[in-house]
Structure 1
Amino acid sequence: MRGEAVKLTKMLQGTRTRFVIPVYQRNYDWKREQCKRLFDDLTDVAREERESHFFGSIVSQADGDTKIIIDGQQRITTVYLLLTALLEQIRSGNVPTGGKERLAEFIQDEYLVDRYAKDDSKLKLKLVKGDQAALAKVMNAVDSGNDGLDEDSNVTVNYRYFLDRIAQSGLDAGKIEDAVEKLEVIDIKLESGDDAQLIFESLNSTGLGLSEGDKIRNFMLMNLPLDQQEMCYERYWNVMERNTSYDVSAFIRDYLTMKTRRTPVISQVYSSFRQYAKDFEPLNLMNDMLRFSRYFGRITGTITQSSSVDDGLRRLRLLEMSVINPFLLSLLEYVDDGEMTSTELQEVFHIVEDYLFRRWMCNVATNALNKVFAGLHHEVLRGVTEGSTYCESLKYALLRREGSGRFPDDEEFHHAYNQRNLYEIRHMRFYLYDCLENDDNVERVNVVDMLERGKLSVEHIMPQTLSRQWRQCLGADADDIHNLWLNRMGNLTLTGYNSRYSNSEFSFKRDCEHGFKDSGLKLNRFIADCDSWGEEQIVERNELLWKRFLELWPAIETSYRPVVEERETHALDEDFVFTNRKIAAYTFQGARHVVKTWVDMMQGVLVGLYGIDPVALRAVAFSDKFPSRYFSDSPLEYGFEVGTGIWFDPGW
């Protein structure tokens, strides 16, 4: 790698000189703020007659006369647009040249265009696909005087900004061009032995804000020859972006979770991917990722088909629990490979819905779900290899879990149903009311869309504020009934006329135009047949809806048991009670250790931590905070030695 200070315009000059922004780079995204700063600096350079102005670094890799820009595309593109705008203002006669003859011709031929090249490559700057089309329109407008620019592109927006600034600056074109010539950069040229990706990461370790997906795209494409970069971007990466609605980072996190059965931290998806990718040939890996990006598109609703599979995925999306995506990726591949019918898949969807909704209803902590779904498909397949069906093995895999991974039984589910405030449930109301109203009916009411657009809302039949008439109707225990039943399922329904009903008495809500008797919603049929609305009716409807809950989210059971039951595994930070449990093994730093007692495990972990960072462990052991009381700097009768001068007493 070689670097030297040069004038940016010297880099632009040369008949065959061409700058190419490779396809793995982000689009041009400098905004008015950065353009204003540049032009303000150039104005100061011109008026103060400075000799130079430092403008950052440009990192490039040579490919003949072509410079492939590794870092610095925002600077080069912005200066190119400024010079293009200056050329247009000179040709339009909006600014004088300051006595510089043939300045327009000089700017065009020296900085902007290779006049000897073919039309499709005459511009000295080649941007990524969308930006290049916008730049070509700008240059065509300068050449022909016609407009028709891409107004949605930052290329066009910044070009127009420079047109205005040049016209209003009070500087002639010669002084502006002179100021541009004073821009000095560090020209860093990569040599054959340099690792472009590592250099790029170092240069962009702060401030640029690349997403994890951006880093992975660069990693996959950067070291390929230029023609292969174009091919791989168009055939693989660009399609993946569309399939994932441009949220590649989220997709790859789920992809890695599915493949490795471990969920990477969001900020470490790139580093996890680099480690995973070592064992694969790049094109094979991209082809596999492309396949799973299509499944991801179906899971997230970006790709839709008219099928029962997509109906099942739509219901799961309403739960807003993306933690299940790695499992669904494996599942869709399994179906695609002909290992499962669509009917079986629907049953799997229902089991997963049942598990997730019951847990939500019972307010079970979600911290175990990452671990549950990361390896669930592989766990289920072990049962399939023993002769079980997929669904029966899935039921066993979910039912065997305890603590925060548990599948709530009917008793816990019923208790939650009778206690939970089902009015203030935010996003889950879409799923809940869609299921209650539609289930699997062909003639569906689009509950979700109508709730989102405010065409439907959740209505308290007994209102939130009791009027005098309602108190008379409810009787002497009105306040107790109101407090107990207001937000329970028996008193809640859907209507498109919530504001009209307000706190009106029940007979008005039932009999008015568009009242409950006119409602086409199944949820309102019982209400329409009631003569009055009090505790008796609420209790009866509450029980009817509880039976509906059990139909929609039934308890599951299975007779399947594995030949050799797998031992339970739990993370230490999981909401799980380890009391009265025996330990068989633990995993530390990716390695599995078989032990006989919890003390063996504690000794192994503490000794391991001491080996990683003895200074940090000593700081914890000899502080005045927990758990320092378990440590000592001298031998203990019942403890064990952790490291030099540190002993630990488990206190048992």
Structure 2
Amino acid sequence: MKASETHLQEILEGTKQYLIPMFQRTYSWTEKQWKQLWEDIKDLIEDNQSLSHFIGSIVSIPNNTNTHGVQQFLVIDGQQRLTTLLTLLVATRDIAEKLGEKNLADEIHHMLLVNSFKSGEEKYKFLPTQVDKENMKKLINKEPSLDNEDSLIFKSYEFFSEKIQEEESLSLSTLKSTITVKLSIVSIVLSTDDNPYLVFESLNAKGQPLTQSDLIRNYLFMRIPADHQEDDYLRYWLPMQEELGTYLTEFIRHFLLGENINVKKNDVYIKFKTKVDRKDAKDFLKVLASYAGYYAKLLNPALEDNKDICKLLKRINEFEAKTAYPFLLYVYGDYKKGKYNKKQFCIILEIVENYLVRRFVCNIDSKSLNKIFASAYHQICTYEAEDSISELINYLQNRGYPKNPEIINSLHQNQLYGKGDRRKKGSFILKLIEKSYRHKEQADLSKTTIEHIMPQTLTEKWEEDLGENAEYIHSTYLHTLGNLTLSAYNSELSNESFLIKRKYYKQSNIHLNKYISSFDNWNEENINKRSEKLIEKFIKIWPYFGKIENEVTKITGSSPRLLTILKKPYNVNTWRDVMEKTIISIYEDNLEKYQQVLSENPGFVSIDGRRMREPKQIINQHYIETNLNSKSIYNFCIKLFENHGYNKEDWQIELIFK
């Protein structure tokens, strides 16, 4: 590697050509960067012409494929500033020619823009990448640009043309010498022994910051032989880039996550390198391109030809279930390879949707979902199709998947409308419930939004109708399932009384609304009645897919999530919570049985705790032993219920496995 401080004239003079590799991103500088460069040049001209101004580095590597006298270099870094300087020179040339300064115009053209005695593409000293190449040719050749209004190359040229003409006292000869001699550049020319992608990675020059996918693209193609780069770029990378657009980096992140690689948003490039280092770059590019097609269908289900799969993908997409994309991406790949048939793939999609929707209505923390779905594919990939579906069910069932009692309790109490994504997901649930009635003439739900039957702002009329507990009823049930419906007339209905709203509901084509119109008034009792009806529908749409029986075969490595005692759910975080809730439930249910517990288990629960190693006082002022492991607590709680006349189903525990 050879590094030296130089200037643009020295870089361009001679029979040279600088090429931007096909895989590099297109020109992306905008007015912000153009304006900064122009201000720097004006400062040099106005303040002290003996000074120079450093504008960054240009990294290149000799390209030895040409044997006809033109010395070629591939630009590894610095293409943005080099492209901008060339458009500025073209603008200076054209204005010089326009003002009759033909010698200056010819000097710029023949010394800095073209290799005068060469033809074809060898004629041009600088050729950008992709569509920018043709646009730069047109500028240098003075061809019309009417069809290229959106080109940043042409916009850059127009910007500098305008700025030059605004400066009436500006000497074009001085401008040319400032651009070519006074702007200091560090030229880094790599040798064939240098590792270009390591050099590229370490650079920290001015300009438009590279995205993670930019870095990945450059890293891949620098490992692909030069004579294959253009073909591989056009065949694999460019279609992937055009199909995914701004989602390209996120796709690569999800691709890595699906391999069970922990990847943060800003570490995609670093993690990507550790994976590609073990594989042939071209082979890996082919795989990446094929999975990009599956990812595009996750983002845009309309691309999927199969109607059943498309329908399920749309539902997952509407629910904004991107946390499941790393898993679905690889399952999609297996489906396309023939491991799963259409029915089996649809079952997997239904399981994923079911799992996410049920967790959402129970307010189960979503932070763990990334980790859960990142590991899911590795849990099932070694099994045959049917067995892998069973394994998926087992895997998800033990990771915060709520049973029906928790669903019923949550849908009566939890908010389905609020900040963040709650409003959108609540609307999704209501629309699926409405569609489940299967009318021959379905109402158009595309323009509907969530309507609060009891309004968000209570009027005097509503307070009167709700009675003396109006504030409690309003704060408790406002955003719950029983008080929510769908309407395209939300603003019109607003805070109207129930009697007025009921007239609308009766005439509505939406089944959810027709049922509301059967009530004479709207109060706590009727909200709960409607909740029960809708919950029945909910459970039919998203039924529990796990094992119903209370079967816990493994305790070690788990943490408790939900304890259900006598059909009442309790959120628990530790095994101590489990023990305390279990003992208190017997205390509250039957004092006689509780006295038996005290007399038969003094080492576990007692009035004073004097004989315990680590006693903890509980809400009835008695004490429990806390120096116990998870297995001991589980066995003790099971024993309590079995030995004191309760049924097996009266005590159930939901576990989360790490």
TM bin (shorter chain): 0.7 to 0.9
Residue in 2 that maps onto 1:599: none
Given that residues 358 and 553 in structure 1 are in contact (C-alpha distance below 8 angstroms), is that contact kept between their aligned partners in structure 2? yes
Distance of 2:294 and 2:135 partners within structure 1: 33
- The reply on whether 1:196 has 2:196 as its aligned counterpart is yes
Output the CA distance in 1 between the equivalents of 2:278 and 2:549: 37
The 5 A counterparts of 1:438-449 are 438-439=435-436, 447=445
| d(CA) in 1 for partners of 2:269, 2:355 | 32
Q: Does 1:395 align with 2:366?
A: no
Q: 1:594 aligns to what?
A: none
- Taking the TM superposition and a 5 Å limit, the aligned residue runs for 1:428-443 are 428-439=425-436
Matching residue of 1:102 = 103
TM-score (norm 1): 0.78
Match of 2:532 among 500, 523, 543: 543
The equivalent of 1:157 in structure 2 is 155
Greater shift in the superposed pair: 486-495 or 263-272: 263-272
Who is 1:363 aligned against?
363
Shift of 1:426: 3.1
Q: 1:244 is paired with a residue of what secondary structure?
A: helix
- Which amino acid counterpart does residue 22 of structure 1 have in structure 2? P
Q: Counterpart amino acid of 1:239?
A: P
Of residues 400, 411, 416, the one that matches 2:405 is 411
Instruction: Decide which of 54, 61, 74 is 2:80's aligned counterpart.
Output: 74
Cα distance change of structure 1 residues 186 and 443 upon mapping to structure 2, 3 Å threshold: farther
Q: Distance in 1 between matches of 2:234 and 2:437?
A: 40
Q: In 2, Cα distance between the equivalents of 1:188 and 1:460?
A: 66
Mapping for residues 8-87 of structure 1, pairs under 5 Å = 8-14=8-14, 16-47=15-46, 48-50=48-50, 52-64=52-64, 65-87=71-93
- Supply the distance in 2 between the matched residues of 1:151 and 1:444 (Cα, whole angstroms): 46
> Distance in 1 between the 2:242 and 2:355 partners?
31
Per-residue deviation, 1:164: 0.9
- Which piece of structure 1 moves more, 79-88 or 433-442? 433-442
- Change in CA separation of 1:472 and 1:53 when aligned onto 2, cut-off 3 Å: closer
Give CA-to-partner distance per residue, 1:217-238, whole Å, 9 cap, x none. Answer: 1111024343322112111111
Distance in 2 between the 1:246 and 1:190 partners? 32
Contact 1:294/1:303 (8 A) holds in 2: no
Q: Which residue of 2 aligns with 1:123?
A: 124
AA paired with 1:456? T
How far has the Cα of 1:113 moved from its partner? Answer: 2.2
Asked if the contact 2:483/2:527 (under 8 Å) is kept, the reply is yes
**5 Å matches for 1:296-375?**
296-301=295-300, 304-306=303-305, 307-375=307-375
8 Å contact kept, 1:134–1:149: no
- Report deviation, 1:560: 12
Mapped contact 1:57–1:186 kept (Cα < 8 A): yes
Change (3 A) 1:302 1:508: closer
Q: CA 1:561–1:224 in structure 2 vs 1: closer, same or farther (change >3 Å)? A: farther
- Structure 1 residues 478, 265: CA separation in 2 closer, same or farther (over 3 Å shift)? closer
Matches of 2:549 and 2:412, distance apart in 1: 32
SS across alignment from 2:258: helix
Q: Secondary structure at the match of 2:431?
A: helix
Aligned mates of 2:205, 2:362 — CA distance in 1: 44
CA shift for structure 1 position 295: 0.9
1:29 and 1:74 in contact (8 A); partners too: yes
Q: Distance in 1 between matches of 2:329 and 2:54?
A: 50
Q: CA deviation at 1:286?
A: 0.9
Change (3 A) 1:243 1:509: same
Q: Which runs of 5+ in 2 are unaligned?
A: 65-70, 560-571, 579-658
Pick aligned residue for 1:506 from 498, 503, 516: 498
RMSD: 3.1
Q: Distance in 2 between matches of 1:269 and 1:319?
A: 25
Amino acid corresponding to residue 128 of structure 1 in structure 2: T
CA contact (8 A) 1:149 1:156 kept: no
* Contact 1:24–1:222, Cα closer than 8 Å, also in 2: no
Q: Is the 8 A contact 1:384 1:393 kept in 2?
A: no
- 3-state SS, counterpart of residue 426 of structure 1: helix
User: Which amino acid is the alignment partner of residue 282 of structure 1?
Assistant: A
- TM-score between both structures, scaled by the size of structure 2: 0.77
Conserved? CA contact 2:55–2:206, under 8 Å? no
Partner SS, residue 185 of structure 1:
strand
Amino acid at match of 2:297: R
Structure 1: runs of 5+ lacking an equivalent: 582-652
Q: CA deviation at 1:395?
A: 1.6
Give, in angstroms, the shift of residue 277 of structure 1: 1.4
CA distance in 1, matches of 2:437, 2:345: 15
Q: Alpha-carbon deviations, 1:627-650, whole Å to 9, x = none? A: xxxxxxxxxxxxxxxxxxxxxxxx
Give distance in 1, aligned partners of 2:25 and 2:268: 18
Q: Identity over aligned residues, as a percent?
A: 30
The match for 1:167 is: 165
The 1:163–1:444 alpha-carbon spacing in structure 2 relative to 1, beyond 3 Å, is: farther
For the pair 1:4 / 2:4, whether they are aligned, the reply is yes
The 5-angstrom pairing of residues 572-591 of structure 1 reads: 577=574
Displacement after TM superposition at 1:446 (Å): 5.8
Q: Which amino acid in 1 is paired with 2:433?
A: L
Q: How much has 1:194 moved relative to structure 2?
A: 0.6
* CA contact 1:43–1:179 (8 Å) conserved in 2: no
In structure 2, the CA distance between the partners of 1:278 and 1:481, relative to structure 1 (3 Å rule), is closer
Q: 1:6 to 1:527 in 2, by over 3 A?
A: same
CA contact (8 A) 1:137 1:149 kept: no
> 1:228 and 1:383, CA in 2 relative to 1: closer, same or farther beyond 3 A?
closer
CA distance 1:534–1:290, shift in 2 (3 Å) = same
Question: Do the aligned partners of residues 567 and 374 (structure 1) sit closer, same or farther apart at CA in structure 2, a change above 3 Å counting?
Answer: farther
What is the number of equivalent residue pairs in this alignment? 553
Inter-CA distance 207–163: structure 2 relative to 1 (3 Å threshold)? closer
The alpha carbon displacement at 1:551 in A equals: 0.9
Q: Which residue of 2 aligns with 1:278?
A: 277
